[in-house]
Amino acid sequence: MNYISIKDIDSLSKWVKSAIKIKKDPLKNKKLGKNKTLGMLFFNPSLRTRLSTQKAALNLGMNVMVMNFTNEGWTLEFEDGAVMNSGASEHIKEAAEVVSQYCDIIAIRAFAGLVDKEKDYQETVISGFLKYATVPIVNMESAVRHPLQSLADAITMEEYKTKHKPKVVLSWAPHPKALPQAVANSFVEMMQMQKDMDFVITHPEGYELSPEITQDCKIEYDQDKAFENADFVYVKNWSNFNDYGKVTNSDPNWTVTAEKMALTNNGKFMHCLPVRRNVIVSDEVLDGENSIVIEQANNRTYSAQLVLQKILKKI
């Protein structure tokens, strides 16, 4: 069993219930991970994922080995048949096979490079590990997806929803730097698995996510209209998917403010963090009582713990 995409979840509602149960007694399965080792390989920075996934593993009694691959290890080659006479010192085939011998589960973070769309959307790094590793792989944010985040988001919405069929908005917001689409992609995929939620995506024209991800999701280019009666507003910047990896819009009118939140049905504000204050969202909203970003981050531990627990039970 791997956890690469939110689609690896068989029943989202059951998983969410299990995670909430874990949250009530996180040390209950302290023996499950005894003498099992989680290898955490980072190709990019990480705060929440780094600490919450470690914490989850410790709650399960696992050993954890953390490695910042980029500066602590060797540059990897991902192409089959490559003549490796320039930069890369090691092929993903050996790296993945070897690490599999030292770890019972391998978790990987490898962001989109945002230069080569095709390469990013082929998930070069995580696909390489998937292909060659001989142990389960957990996605700690790949080029295209961030399913530990989306599971935490689902848990958080379950905890805060106040009616049977809430309205959920995913809203783009401006950001000075080019960011990957991974969080938004996985959130969309997670929402597609929700049975009783109304979902709408809002962003400036031209900022459409990959149509293979959004499929028939409702898109509303008017942010105000999208916010109307929303119960949850999930805000996230992403760089342009069509003009790949570019920042083609930084319109401050898309910043989420108290005025905009006033259009909602007393809606909760969500963001995966880190968040740029007064660019993505105003202080007033982020610090307001309807902001549930800190609890979202808290649920990262239980999201990761559920995934590790599911895998441990199968190995």
Question: Binding site residues, as ranges?
Answer: 46-49, 74, 109, 141, 146-149, 175, 236, 272-273, 276, 300
DSSP state letter for 110: -
DSSP state letter for 6: G
**Residue 298 beta carbon to a copy of itself: minimum distance, rounded to whole angstroms:** 4
- Stretch of 4-12, 47-55, 152-160, 226-234 lying at the interface with a copy of itself (CB under 8 A): 47-55
**Cβ atoms of 214 and 220 closer than 8 Å:** no
Q: Is 72 in the site for a copy of itself (CB under 8 A)?
A: yes
Question: With contacts defined by CB under 8 A, how many residues of the chain interact with a copy of itself?
Answer: 60
Instruction: Give the nearer residue to a copy of itself in terms of CB position, either 144 or 272.
Output: 272
Q: Which residue in the set 3, 42, 199, 254 belongs to the binding site for a copy of itself (CB under 8 A)?
A: 42
The first and second tokens of residue 309, run together, are: 């627990």
CA distances from 193 to 8, 10, 189 (A): 11, 10, 7
Q: Is 23 in the site for a copy of itself (CB under 8 A)?
A: no
Instruction: Give the nearer residue to a copy of itself in terms of CB position, either 128 or 166.
Output: 128
Q: Which residue in the set 13, 18, 29, 68 belongs to the binding site for a copy of itself (CB under 8 A)?
A: 68
Binding map of a copy of itself across residues 77-116, x = CB under 8 A, - = no contact: x--xxxxxxx-xxxx-xxx-xxx-xxx-------------
Q: Which residue in the set 3, 5, 9, 39 belongs to the binding site for a copy of itself (CB under 8 A)?
A: 39
CA distances from 209 to 72, 75, 233, 261 (A): 34, 30, 18, 23
The amino acid sitting at 212 is E
Q: Is 19 in the site for a copy of itself (CB under 8 A)?
A: no
Q: Is 196 in the site for a copy of itself (CB under 8 A)?
A: no
H/E segment holding residue 258: helix 258-261
**Cβ atoms of 180 and 238 closer than 8 Å:** yes
Q: Which residue in the set 279, 288, 290, 310 belongs to the binding site for a copy of itself (CB under 8 A)?
A: 279
Beta pairing, strands 232-235 & 268-270: parallel
Annotated binding-site ranges for carbamoyl phosphate:
46-49, 74, 109, 146-149, 272-273, 300
Instruction: Output b/e per residue, 170-207; b: 16+ Cβ within 10 A.
Output: bbbbbbeebbbbbbbbbbbbbbbbbeebebbbbbbeeb
Nearest Cα neighbor of 45 from 267, 273, 297 is 273
- Stretch of 147-155, 196-204, 258-266, 293-301 lying at the interface with a copy of itself (CB under 8 A): 293-301
DSSP state letter for 208: P
CA atoms within 13 A on the CB side of 202: 22
| Residue whose entry in the numeric block shows the structure tokens 């024209």 | 205
The contact set with a copy of itself (CB under 8 A) reads: 27, 30, 35, 37, 39, 42, 45-48, 50-52, 54-55, 58, 63, 65, 67-68, 71-74, 77, 80-86, 88-91, 93-95, 97-99, 101-103, 176, 273-279, 283, 287, 293-294, 297-298, 301
